[in-house]
Amino acid sequence: MAIKVEFMGIIATIKKLLGLKQTMINIILFGPPGSGKGTQAEKLVEKFGLVHISTGDLFRYEMGNDTPLGIKAKEYIKKGELVPDSVTIGMLKNKVTSHPEAKGFIYDGFPRTIPQAEALDQMLADNAQSIDGLFALTVDDDEIKKRILSRGETSGRADDLDEDIIQNRIEVYNTSTLEVYEYYNKQNKAVSIEGSGSIDEIANRLQSAVKTTL
């Protein structure tokens, strides 16, 4: 699988050098919890006409509608087990195929591990596509805590008000999820975006970076 994915990455690079474009744009919006991915995804949708795929929303839809994949996910969750990546990839495929008119997609909340990144790359490679870029919003830990605690005042989520849980989420991101950044950085596809400042300032930085992939 790694060889095929690497080959597709080479093909995508050659296409760009020749001035050829993929039929769709595929980007990953990356960053720690509370970095503003959801807000910035909305602005990217407005700016570039992409479809935003949030894995959290995806799971809620599939499980809430008792789709075959949603039922499978529930079975694993009820047993206290992690939902296999194959189920999540199946949900992603369903979402992508339901938008044949899309100019491209923003993947938000996935991948979070290198195996997930490899699975996503394979899914795209099967359709002669590849990830154009991973854009990581960087925000220091203290600012992240302030943002999540502030969000907790209106989100209705108890975990947004628990500093120990917030710290744990930050640590999981720093120790595990950041490996995905390095995975795409080795493919020269990872870009860090300063995630501090006003919403519009961050949006301008992010949108300027995304334009370079179009």
Q: What is the pLDDT of residues 4-31, one digit of tens each?
A: 345 444 545 555 555 444 568 999 999 9
Decide if 112 is catalytic.
yes
pTM of the prediction? 0.82
From the list 60, 103, 146, 157, the catalytic residue is 157
From the list 37, 72, 95, 189, the catalytic residue is 37
Distance separating alpha carbons of residues 20 and 146, to the nearest angstrom: 44
From the list 72, 95, 112, 205, the catalytic residue is 112
List CB contacts of 18: < 8 A, sequence separation 6 or more: none
Q: In this structure, which CATH number among 3.10.20.30, 3.40.50.300, 3.40.50.720, 3.20.20.70 belongs to the domain 2-50+102-211?
A: 3.40.50.300
pLDDT at position 53, please?
A: 95
Q: Confidence class of residue 33 from pLDDT cuts 50, 70 and 90? A: confident
From the list 15, 43, 93, 151, the catalytic residue is 151
From the list 72, 95, 169, 205, the catalytic residue is 169
> Which is more confidently placed, 3 or 86?
86
Is the confidence at residue 131, as pLDDT, over 80? yes
Q: In the sheet where 133-138 sits, what is the strand order? A: 51-54, 104-108, 25-30, 133-138, 190-194
Decide if 147 is catalytic.
no
In this structure, are residues 125 and 42 in contact, taking their beta carbons and an 8 Å threshold?
no
Q: Mean per-residue pLDDT for 111-117?
A: 92
Is the confidence at residue 119, as pLDDT, over 70? yes
The tokens for 188 are: 């020269």
Compute, in degrees rounded to 10, the torsion defined by CA atoms 116, 159, 52, 214.
-70
In this structure, are residues 49 and 103 in contact, taking their beta carbons and an 8 Å threshold?
yes
Decide if 151 is catalytic.
yes
Decide if 169 is catalytic.
yes
